[in-house]
Amino acid sequence: MKRTPHAGKRHSGGFSLGVFTEDELSEIHLATLEVLEKTGVFVESEEALEVFDGGGAVVDTKRKMVRIPPYLVEDAIRSAPSKFIAAGRNPESDVVLESNRVSFTNFGEGIMINDPYTGEHRETRKADLSNAAILIDYLDNIDVYERSMLSHDVPHETSPLHNAEASLVNTTKHHFLCPGNGFLGHKVVDMLAAIVGGKRRLRERPLLTFLTCPVSPLKLVRDCCEIIIEAARAGIGVNVLSMAMAGGSAPINLAGALVTHNAEVLSGITLNQLVCKGSPVVYGSSTCGLDLLYTTASVGSPELAMISAAVASIARYYMLPSFVAGG
């Protein structure tokens, strides 16, 4: 089992970078609670609306708006585990995920590739995904695996299942995957149960963590809700990863973008914990700025580094494992 190095903790010596003070983190948290209570989030799934309504949120079924009281959000933060073991096919690949340990993963969602044999620039295929999984499994400094590419040569409706197969049979490391929707997520859980020897065993050794993204600003769309709910019921983790874009789908200033981001992630975590208290969650981020000249996501910019450092600080404030874009 890997226990990767700590970062961000106060030590007696060495260098550290404090992005926010405790008071500033508290201000972001309180502003987020105000947004969730007064403005609320759009929730597309009927089942999720029922879960929120039964949990004590104020639900407008006609507008599909959910206003979440502060006590509900803070109870969800408290009930979410501060750490969990990201299990691999090989127990030696298990990784401890907690608020201050730094692990590394590959970047995901590649859609084009330069063919290593022909040099052709083409769409990615399932075989490419299998080969990438083998490569990433070999790299010692990559601790967990994220689905690296898309399988364009399989039916779109079932591509998440092909992605899961190509990845799971070719890596021993813990896997992060977006299953697309709740139905396909359930099928992925069946695949995982077959690998480990049953759904009860899967709860003990979850080989995979679901990944899903709210839609900025402040929307939990149907597929996102279904994935969050399925993860809670199956006993596996879910990475709720906001991709807010400062200057586009979120306020252009850092504080406003972080509040929007935080509200989206916490609304998903609250839904997850209302379904099953104690279900493992990861506080995720690919939030970045909008390049106003080229109208593209400014991935790799200094602003992304600032946002990512800030998001990691917020996750640490909540004592939750985080999954943050590196640029």
Please report, for the chain, the start and end positions of each structural domain, with discontinuous segments joined by +: 22-103+174-324
| Predicted local confidence at residue 13, as pLDDT | 55
> What is residue 91's DSSP assignment?
G
Question: Residues 293-297: what's their mean pLDDT?
Answer: 87
| Predicted local confidence at residue 133, as pLDDT | 95
State the first-to-last Cα distance of the chain, in angstroms, to the nearest integer: 27
> What are the tens digits of pLDDT across the range 113-141?
999 999 999 999 999 999 999 999 999 99
Whether residue 316 is predicted with pLDDT greater than 70 in this model: the reply is yes
Whether residue 51 is predicted with pLDDT greater than 80 in this model: the reply is yes
Structure confidence at residue 107 as a pLDDT band (50, 70, 90): confident
Least reliable range by pLDDT among 137-146, 220-229, 258-267, 290-299: 290-299
Higher pLDDT, 5 or 235: 235
In the chain, % of residues over pLDDT 90: 78
Mean pLDDT across the chain? 92
| Cβ contact 48:275 at 8 Å | no
Structure confidence at residue 12 as a pLDDT band (50, 70, 90): low
> What are the tens digits of pLDDT across the range 137-195?
999 999 999 988 989 999 999 999 999 999 999 999 999 999 999 999 999 999 999 99
52 Cβ contact partners less than 8 Å away, ≥ 6 residues apart: 43, 59, 66, 68, 270, 271, 274
Beta strand 58-60 pairing with 238-242: unpaired
Q: Rounded to an integer, what distance in angstroms lies between the CA atom of residue 16 and that of residue 6?
A: 12
283 Cβ contact partners less than 8 Å away, ≥ 6 residues apart: 240, 265, 269, 311, 314, 315, 318, 320, 321, 322, 323
> What is residue 4's DSSP assignment?
P
Higher pLDDT, 42 or 327: 42
Question: Residues 79-95: what's their mean pLDDT?
Answer: 92
Q: Rounded to an integer, what distance in angstroms lies between the CA atom of residue 106 and that of residue 109?
A: 10
> What is residue 119's DSSP assignment?
-
SS3 category, 320 = coil
Q: Please say whether the structural domain 22-103+174-324 has been given the CATH code 3.20.20.480.
A: yes
Q: Among 57, 114, 102, 88, which Cα is nearest to 309's?
A: 102
Q: Among 239, 243, 180, which Cα is nearest to 216's?
A: 243
For helices 254-275 and 302-317, give the axis angle rounded to 10 degrees: 40
SS3 category, 5 = coil
Whether residue 19 is predicted with pLDDT greater than 90 in this model: the reply is no
| Predicted local confidence at residue 16, as pLDDT | 59
Provide the token pair at 62: 């006609």
Strand (E) positions, the chain? 41-43, 58-60, 65-67, 83-86, 95-98, 112-114, 121-123, 145-146, 175-177, 208-212, 219-220, 238-242, 245-246, 281-285, 288-291, 296-297, 322-324
Structure confidence at residue 302 as a pLDDT band (50, 70, 90): confident
Q: Rounded to an integer, what distance in angstroms lies between the CA atom of residue 87 and that of residue 165?
A: 17
Whether residue 10 is predicted with pLDDT greater than 80 in this model: the reply is no
Question: Residues 228-251: what's their mean pLDDT?
Answer: 95
| Predicted local confidence at residue 278, as pLDDT | 96
Q: Rounded to an integer, what distance in angstroms lies between the CA atom of residue 139 and that of residue 256?
A: 38
| Cβ contact 49:200 at 8 Å | no
Question: Residues 63-70: what's their mean pLDDT?
Answer: 98
| Predicted local confidence at residue 293, as pLDDT | 87
Beta strand 208-212 pairing with 175-177: parallel
pTM metric for this prediction: 0.92
- List alpha helices for 59-154, DSSP H: 70-79, 126-138
Whether residue 14 is predicted with pLDDT greater than 60 in this model: the reply is no
Beta strand 288-291 pairing with 208-212: unpaired
Burial class (CB in 10 A: 0-12, 13-18, 19+), 83: middle
Q: Rounded to an integer, what distance in angstroms lies between the CA atom of residue 40 and that of residue 16?
A: 36
> What are the tens digits of pLDDT across the range 194-216?
999 999 999 999 999 999 999 99
| Predicted local confidence at residue 227, as pLDDT | 98
